[in-house]
Structures are given as C-alpha cells and as structure tokens.
Amino acid sequence: MPGRKRAAVLGHPIGHSRSPQLHRAAYEYLGFDCSYEAIDVEEAAAADFAAAARQDPAWNGLSVTMPLKAAMAAAVDHLDPLAHALGVLNTVTFDHGPGGAVLTGWNTDVLGLVNALRHAGAGDAPRGIVLGAGGTACAAVAAFSRMGCTAVDVYARSHQRGDQAQNTQSRGSAQAANVSKVGAALGITVNLHPWNDAAQACAEADVVICTLPPRGADALADAFDALGAARTGAVLLDAAYDPWPSRIAQAWESAGGTIVPGLEMLLYQAVEQVRLFTGNAFRDEDAVINVMCDAVGLPAR
C-alpha cells in the first residue's frame, strides 16, 4: 500500500528466523504501518544490498544476523559507539534525505543478553564466563561489562595449551584476539583459557553465556555432567535456540541451575530494534513485550 514502510531481517540462511513473528506482532500492537520479511543475503552481497536500500525511501530498518554482521558494519555510514567497539552490528536504521538515506548501525544484541539474564534472575557483577570466541562472544563480553563485571573468562575451542595456543594464524586464534581487543575497548579484562578447562569453570561460575553453534557444546555438557556440580542459583544462557533444550542446557538444569534459551535474547534484542524502528510510535513496553512473547510461544512477563 502507498506510503507503507518496509523492514526485514537479512542473513544466510534465513528461513529459520523468528524475527518476522516478533516484529510483526509488535507493529500490529503499535498500529505501525510497516511490513517485515526475511531476506536471504549472502555475505558477499551485503554492500550491494545496502547501496540499493539506501535509494529506496520505503526502507525503515534492517535486522542483521549471521554471517552479515561485520560486512554490514562496513557498509553503513555511521556506527553507534557500542557497534563501533564491537566491530559488528545487528540493526540498521535509515535517515532519508534528498541524496538517499544515511544508514546508521546499532548493536542491540548486548541489551538482548543483559535483559534476558536479568529476567532470569542474574545479579550484578557476576562471575561470568563465555563459551566461544566468535561475534556473539564479543556481545557477551559487552553484556558482562554492562552488568558490572571488570573481568570475564573466555573459553574458546581454538585456544589450547602448548604450541596450538601460539598459532596466531588460525581463524580461531584471530577470533580470540578480537574478543580481547573488544574487552580492551570496553574496559573489561578478557582472560582466555584452554577449552579443556571449560567444564570445571562452568561448575564454578555465576553466569555462563554459551555462544557456540547448535550442538557445539554437546561434548562439554557430558564433561560438565560428570563433575556432579550443584548449580542452584547459577544461570546459563545458550544463544543457540534450536534445538531446545540443548544438551548443555539439559545438563545445567539437571544440576539445579536456571537455563535461558537463546529465544529470550532474540526477544529482548528485537524489543530494542522495534524501539529504534518505530520511534515516537513506541509505547507500552510491557505490553509490546508480551505480544512478542505470545508470537513465539514464550511465557508472558
């Protein structure tokens, strides 16, 4: 319809995304006239997509998921301070003008993590650990910083004792170095540890954020399970939300801990995107959150 705004989530693959359900529910509640779709965009095409969208006045906002978060960060005109520090974005807004739109990149993943953990009962300045060292791990480090931590322990599968730890040419080592760089930019100390120490660390932490791909922590779950640790009061968030519960989440819950699905993170990062995309139309945050919860089968707040 004429004048209708347009928004979308970009990624590859993208068919599994729950973002359309979340955003459409929020827009309907707010009476905000904006479509929202999932568009498959490969990493090499990110810059061309941004250039074309810049010239289309219908575009209102973009949600950005893997593997485009760094590529789109390089394609926008401005980054907010957090996205700049992380080097990745998950949100793009449009400020349209006579010469085309000015694109600004944001990162709402951090607030998504913080608010999901807060909702689950995580306290201030927890002893936090991050499993993995990719892009989501950078957001996890930033989330712990927002929660008052001055240091965080990161366990990367590429980080091993001995000669392997010196292999700075590997992709995994580069990722680990980037997580440390992000920590320095945010003023939080990142301590890198060998992966084979991760199970014991999980048995001692207050909050664990697992940023590994689906099933990536299955072997770790078995090692953690074998420790027989009691985890009452401790929180684990697994950013991978399919399958759920993951093996590591099952082991954590069996030990008495609180588990948080990645869908909770997706919910809260989407709330912040809706706030950015709708501007003055945003209202009744609690009600917006609940209609979004209902859209994806999460319990009402």
Greatest pairwise CA separation for the chain in angstroms:
64
Q: Please say if 5 is a catalytic residue.
A: no
Torsion over CA of 268, 265, 190 and 160, rounded to 10 degrees?
-170
In this structure, are residues 146 and 115 in contact, taking their beta carbons and an 8 Å threshold? no
Determine which one of 5, 18, 23, 69 is catalytic: 69
Please list the helix, strand and coil fractions of the chain in percent, rounded to the nearest 5, in that order.
Answer: 45, 20, 35
- Lateral strand order in the sheet of 151-155: 189-193, 151-155, 128-131, 207-210, 235-238, 258-261
The residues, any chain, with a CB within 8 Å of residue 2's CB and separated by 6 or more, are: none
Cα 130-9-265 angle, rounded to 5 deg: 30
In this structure, are residues 113 and 137 in contact, taking their beta carbons and an 8 Å threshold? no
- How many helices and strands, by DSSP H and E, does the chain display? 12, 12
Q: Which of the residues are catalytic? A: 69
